[in-house]
Amino acid sequence: MEGELKANLRALADAYLAVSPGKETGLWLRAANDARFMSRVEGGKSFTVKTYDRAVAWFADNWPDRAEWPEFVARPVHSSEAAA
């Protein structure tokens, strides 16, 4: 399961950065409050479901219009839509 979640995070970051300027470390600082989050995860460190959910929610709330959300990643309801 952790491998699948890691792949989801990688796919989100890659799709986001493909259309948005910036460095991956800056993206992860905003999405997970840790600039080295993905490098740590890809280096074998684990992460909590809470951290995963927070990162995916950040992506959903800040997703660029010109990027395509990876179809195999469940997209949470946009927080502005949930408040309505």
Cβ neighbours of 82 (radius 10 Å): 9
How long a stretch of residues is the chain? 84
Q: How far is CA 67 from CA 17, 29, 40, 60, in A?
A: 9, 20, 25, 11
Instruction: Record the pTM.
Output: 0.88
Task: Please check the confidence at residue 79 and state whether its pLDDT lies above 90.
Answer: no
Q: How far is CA 3 from CA 6, 8, 61, 70, in A?
A: 5, 9, 24, 16
Cβ neighbours of 5 (radius 10 Å): 18
Query: How many domains are contained in the chain?
Result: 1
Instruction: Give the structural domain span for 58.
Output: 2-83
| Residue 80 confidence (pLDDT) | 54
Q: Could you read off the pLDDT of 13-56 as tens digits, one per residue?
A: 999 999 998 999 999 999 999 999 999 999 999 999 999 999 99
